[in-house]
Amino acid sequence: MKFNKKGSSPQWKDFNPEVKILVRPLSMYTLERLPSDTANFEMSPSEIKNMVTKLIVDWKGIVDENGKELPCNDENKGMVIDYVEMIGPFVMDAASELKEGAGIVKEKESKNLSESPDGETPKSEK
């Protein structure tokens, strides 16, 4: 089994042309706890805020009323999540796309299986 570190690392996502958010992938544990029918699944606003706060690692381009870069800390994350309605859904979508552990690949799957060990293409079985 090989581990692709990039597949489970936080990644920068463009919220808009001026704002980038470094998003942590949703953990496999979290994904497994979500119901398969997410269309009818609801989280309370406080649960969403708590999860989104944990998923945001850093940001660029979020500034205060004076144009000064706003530090990425839990207090400011909470304020931004409350003030900018679309941040929560954006971060949740980005994190679910990243899925922690997506970088784990079985070594067999990472090799080109179309060639046999001697380099020849195997004949298809019928």
pLDDT tens digits, 7-25: 578 999 999 999 999 999 8
Residue 42 CA to residue 48 CA, distance in Å, equals 9
Q: Where are the domains of the chain?
A: 2-32+43-109
Q: What is the pLDDT of residues 73-90, one digit of tens each?
A: 999 999 999 999 899 999
* Terminal-to-terminal C-alpha distance of the chain: 30
Collect all residues with Cβ–Cβ distance below 8 Å to 57 and sequence separation of at least 6: 10, 22, 23, 24, 72
Q: Could you count the other beta carbons within 10 Å of the beta carbon of residue 64?
A: 11
pLDDT digit string (tens) for 23-74? Answer: 998 876 666 666 555 555 577 788 889 889 999 999 999 999 999 999 999 9
pLDDT at 119 over 60: no
The total number of residues written for the chain in this structure: 126
| pLDDT at residue 1 tops 90 | no
Query: pTM, whole model, 2 decimals?
Result: 0.67
C-alpha atoms less than 13 angstroms from C-alpha of 105 in its C-beta half-sphere: 12
CA dihedral for 96, 29, 84, 38, sign (positive or negative) = positive
Full DSSP string of 16-31? SSS-EEEEPPPPHHHH
Whether 126 shows a pLDDT value over 60: the answer reads no
